[in-house]
Amino acid sequence: MPSDAFNELAEALAEGVEALRGGAPLVRRRVEVADPKRYGRSEIRSVRRRLGATQAVFAEVLGVSPRTVQAWEQGQKKPSSLACRMLQVVEERPEVAGQWVSVET
């Protein structure tokens, strides 16, 4: 799931390596990464339900404990910036989360 920022960074690194090899001058670029969206308890529950996941499965997808998901959904804790970034990925690209989960019958 390469983003525009990732692509720009990769391109800049490739240019830097090429410049070092060939002695060409380096080009300086400024890359800004947007802050992750902040999620409240109802938004977290909504993202989870759209995936059709239990709190336990959702926790596995996000790399946190089921207790953490429960605390978020009850408003007892707020997700970290990293967790918000993961929530944003799952919300915007649910098919990505689907690639991480396999269901056996």
What local confidence, expressed as pLDDT, does residue 76 receive? 97
8 Å CB contact between 90 and 1: no
pLDDT in tens, 23-53: 766 678 899 999 999 999 999 999 999 999 9
pLDDT of residue 38: 96
Give the architecture-level CATH label for domain 41-100.
Orthogonal Bundle (1.10)
Q: What does the alpha-carbon distance between residue 28 and residue 98 come to, in Å, rounded to a whole number?
A: 38
The rounded distance, in Å, linking the Cα atoms of 47 and 41 is 10
pLDDT value at residue 4: 77
Looking at the chain, the domain(s) classified CATH 1.10.260.40 span 41-100
Task: Return the SS3 of 26.
Answer: coil
Higher-confidence residue: 104 or 78? Answer: 78
pLDDT grade for 6, boundaries at 50, 70 and 90: confident
Contact between 103 and 96 under an 8 Å Cβ cutoff? The reply is: no
Q: What does the alpha-carbon distance between residue 99 and residue 102 come to, in Å, rounded to a whole number? A: 8
Who has greater pLDDT, 15 or 102? Answer: 15
